[in-house]
Structure 1
Amino acid sequence: MMKTFKIWTYKEGDVPLVHNGPMRYVYSIEGDFIEEMERNGNPMAASHPDEAHAFFIPISVTNIVYYLYTPSEIHHFSKRIQAIVEDYVGVIAERYPYWNRSNGADHFYVSCHDWGPSVSKGNPKLFQNLIRVLCNANRSEGFIPRRDVSMSEINGPFNNTPSVGSGKSPHNRSILAFFSGKVRGPIRSKLFQHWGNNEDKDIQVHTYLPKGQNYSEFISQSKYCLCPSGFEVASARLTEAIYMGCVPVIIKDHYVLPYSDVLDWSQFSVQVPVDKIPDLKKILQEIPFEKYLKMQKRVIEVQRHFRLNFPAKHFDLFHMILHSVWLRRLDVHLATIN
């Protein structure tokens, strides 16, 4: 892929809605990805659209929301996002032959915002083939694994590059499982109902950590890190766990795990059905310690696939996203132009 796959990033449009995006906090991957694709010297960037195998639409849904959203529009703002993206596609389809020859099947956009999946819903026929690279990869909300790409959510710090380490030795992690976060959505509500802010030292579930406690330290001291859905299925906690060598415990419905075309998540994570939340402690305690050690070792091994590098490096987060796009592009058969 690295030697042959070429991507054209459309030049049309103006910042801040196009060619720009956030590079901090939970939606930072939008800006990070645009930055990497438009970086001078990117070896996967096509020098001319005729040599491209895929076409990137560099729109940031997060920036559209940030710059244009007003509270009075909450019930119909998604339609405004849809109109902006549809107008952009109209421009590139008029200027170039590439969208029309494949009906958009070799085109993709990247979005981590909660409203990212709704971009294509305003005109389903126009966008029926478009590859959507999304953090919120929810099958119950229209995510199609054979066409769309599930992308990991990253909580980008001020320096844009999250730190990655091994945390404490797996033999010295005293907390069985840990979660800290707001009570958002029915799954977290159920988690807090059974395990929230209680006296159990093995399963520690907090809305807010006690004053003076460090979030990263808790992850480093935990064997397992709980990753429940909030209002949406995506969560940066999945990558935060991996970054600190903590085995993720995925508690989500209808979620398509990132890069599952090539990563076997059963080897380095635990998936717990929502209705088994009351049995969480029993489920985790019944995992043999030797099996936990193997999973934790594999968490360390897969860290490079979730790591953010500027410029991108082989097998890192950017290349995992592009590899997923490449696999879907292989299924596209362009119409013959006579």
Structure 2
Amino acid sequence: MGQEVQYILESKRLVWLVAVVFAVVVMFQYLEFPYGDVSSSMFSVHRAQPPLSQTNQTKTSSEIPKSTGNNTIKFISPPPSSDSTTSPPSSTSASLTPTITVNNTVVAPSIALDNNTLKPEVNPPNLNPNFKKPAPSENKPAMSTGEPQVKELPPVQERPIGDIVTLSDMHDILLHNRASVRSMKPQWPLMVDQELLAAKLQIEKAPINNNDRALYSPLYRNVSRFKRSYELMEKTLKVYVYQEGEKPIFHQPQAVLSGIYASEGWFMKHMKENKHFVTNNPKEAHLFYIPFSSRTLEEKLYVTGSRSRDNLVQHLKDYIHLIAGRYDSWNRTGGSDHFLVACHDWATDETRKSMNSCIRALCNSDVGKEHFELGKDVSLPETYVRSTQNPLRELGGKPASQRSTLAFFAGQMHGDVRPILLHYWENKDPDMKIFQKLPKSKGNRNYINYMKTSKYCICAKGYEVNSPRVVEAIFHECVPVIISDNFVPPFFEILNWESFAVFVEEKDIPNLKNILLSISNRRYLVMQQRVKRVQQHFLWHAKPVKYDIFHMILHSIWYNRVFRVDPVS
């Protein structure tokens, strides 16, 4: 009996010892093995599974949409990579790709939404070094099936400031913005919304038309679309011009009809005098014009030496508050159907905050650092008008056979590009007439004669990307050579600039002559003839004529407005 009791006591001690050992092992496993997954570590030969935050979240996040106002964001896992056999698998959560459903339209890949406005999240949104051109079918209107439509968009990546955006890049960015970025959905509908949408569909389906003698098709990206859009503009467009605003900053174009900022003055003059496009009924308007002069704003309000433009920015902000308080037009669309025309270098920055939702026609069209948005903003031609009575004075130049100078430039040493140009080419080669500012002459005769007798006219940037030489070269039938990285040329949405102009990167200035000599004489003759043909789009007339610069500026504004209309609005 005593032996049995002793046996039982020893058995209990053994059981307690085993329990203690087991507890110690369990504690050790919990502290040492990843994620605290004891059972899998102890009893399975397989690796520990990813944590719940990585595995179960993959399943649940694709099933439970996250609400953001009126928009729905869903997370879905992308298909396996084609080279997954050679690449190590990445974590599931890191590969999640958001898709966004907006008004029954699914947009992919990662595009951040700001209420009803589709905009890429990165800043700046329109600089992407690795854009992939959308297939032709992506530009066609999708068939209506009643199901959500998926828009496959090129990825948006941030391009560091300082990188060069080529014309090809700009075209891809434009296509991307056309497909992905929409104006704010109107707070309440009007008939003008449907008219804009109808115009967009008609432009997209424009029949091929290359027989218009007034329009030489090689000059355009798509001459049929341009012709149809222009016809619809003439037939449909109505513009409301605000009467608010005190002179001379507002409503006084006479102050800016000459000089290098003349584009904003001449446009204001023609717009205010126009009886075909202007309406007195805001509800009929497809566009709203803010009639101010950026040049006069600088002359009247900037305090010399202050190095501050805050009061200029505030003046424009106060004006927007004024019209927003008196009209419901601004609030209906958030200003996306409003536009301004400004040529001063500062205008891009001055309008960026209070007027950034507007369509901005700007001479300083720098896609690299000035927040110029392709597809919304318009590159305004900088025109040097020497005679307000006769803006066409000195039009034209010598025929190609009588142009003895290979290349010409003259100007002040503004910015950092022109000094480099002169360093390599001033007095270095008899074929390259590269000067600082020429001595004064009556009517600037020396400068104009060089323009009229040179094959190529160098348009080198100054402090900013824009230069009046681009239009001056076309005015005098000289092939423009544009040396200005990230400059969006005027009417970029419409014109095929590479068919009649030469673009040289700033870094290639030392090789400038070789670049020009590499262009065959036959090719030069074709380009020079095209310069003469495109000239009609860059001329100011005392009274506007079809396809002239006034109508082209207005058309680009109209065109960008039409293509930012949300088809589901």
TM-score by structure 1 length? Answer: 0.93
Distance 1:181 1:297 in 2: 26
Q: Any stretches of 5+ residues in structure 1 without a counterpart? A: none
Residues 12-23 of structure 1 mapped to structure 2, 5 A cutoff = 12-21=244-253, 22-23=256-257
Distance 1:9 1:193 in 2: 48
Tell me which residue corresponds to 2:559: 327
Distance 1:260 1:170 in 2: 26
Q: Per-residue CA shift, 1:152-172, capped at 9, x if unaligned?
A: 101121325143633111011
Tell me which residue corresponds to 2:459: 227
1:310 deviation in Å?
A: 2.4
Distance 1:200 1:51 in 2: 60
Distance 1:336 1:283 in 2: 48
Task: Specify which of 238, 244, 264 is matched with residue 30 of structure 1.
Answer: 264
Tell me which residue corresponds to 1:51: 284
Distance 2:495 2:512 in 1: 24
Percent identical residues: 39
1:306 deviation in Å?
A: 0.2
* SS of 2:236 mapped into structure 1: coil
TM-score by structure 2 length? Answer: 0.56
Tell me which residue corresponds to 1:271: 503
1:200 deviation in Å?
A: 1.6
1:247 deviation in Å?
A: 0.1
Distance 2:428 2:338 in 1: 51
Q: 1:314 to 1:211 in 2, by over 3 A?
A: closer
Distance 2:350 2:392 in 1: 28
Task: Specify which of 333, 338, 345 is matched with residue 114 of structure 1.
Answer: 345
Are residues 1:239 and 2:471 paired?
Answer: yes
Task: Specify which of 289, 294, 297 is matched with residue 61 of structure 1.
Answer: 294
Retained in 2: the 8 A contact 1:102–1:335? no
Q: Per-residue CA shift, 1:178-228, capped at 9, x if unaligned?
A: 0010111111111011012x0522111111336766111111110000001
Distance 1:330 1:208 in 2: 43
Retained in 2: the 8 A contact 1:34–1:58? yes
Are residues 1:154 and 2:387 paired?
Answer: no
1:335 deviation in Å?
A: 12
Q: 1:240 to 1:298 in 2, by over 3 A?
A: same
The code of the aligned residue for 2:522 comes to E
Q: 1:14 to 1:69 in 2, by over 3 A?
A: same
Tell me which residue corresponds to 2:411: 181
Retained in 2: the 8 A contact 1:33–1:318? yes
Distance 1:211 1:230 in 2: 20
The code of the aligned residue for 2:551 comes to H
Are residues 1:89 and 2:320 paired?
Answer: yes
Tell me which residue corresponds to 1:292: 524
Distance 1:262 1:334 in 2: 21
Q: 1:320 to 1:227 in 2, by over 3 A?
A: same
Q: Per-residue CA shift, 1:273-330, capped at 9, x if unaligned?
A: 1111111111111110000000000000001000001221110101111111011111
Larger Rg: 2
Retained in 2: the 8 A contact 1:305–1:317? yes
* SS of 1:223 mapped into structure 2: strand
* SS of 1:38 mapped into structure 2: helix
Q: Per-residue CA shift, 1:94-117, capped at 9, x if unaligned?
A: 111111010000001111001110
Retained in 1: the 8 A contact 2:251–2:292? yes
Tell me which residue corresponds to 2:124: none
Distance 1:303 1:164 in 2: 13
Distance 1:65 1:120 in 2: 13
Retained in 2: the 8 A contact 1:164–1:307? no
Tell me which residue corresponds to 2:482: 250
Distance 2:332 2:281 in 1: 17
Q: Per-residue CA shift, 1:113-164, capped at 9, x if unaligned?
A: 011101223x3xx534211110000012111111100011011213251436
Q: Count matched residues.
A: 330
Are residues 1:209 and 2:438 paired?
Answer: yes
Identify which range, 206-215 or 126-135, moves more after superposition: 206-215
The code of the aligned residue for 1:142 comes to H
Query: Which has the bigger relative contact order, CA under 8 A and spacing at least 6?
Result: 1
Retained in 1: the 8 A contact 2:288–2:337? yes
Task: Specify which of 402, 405, 411 is matched with residue 172 of structure 1.
Answer: 402
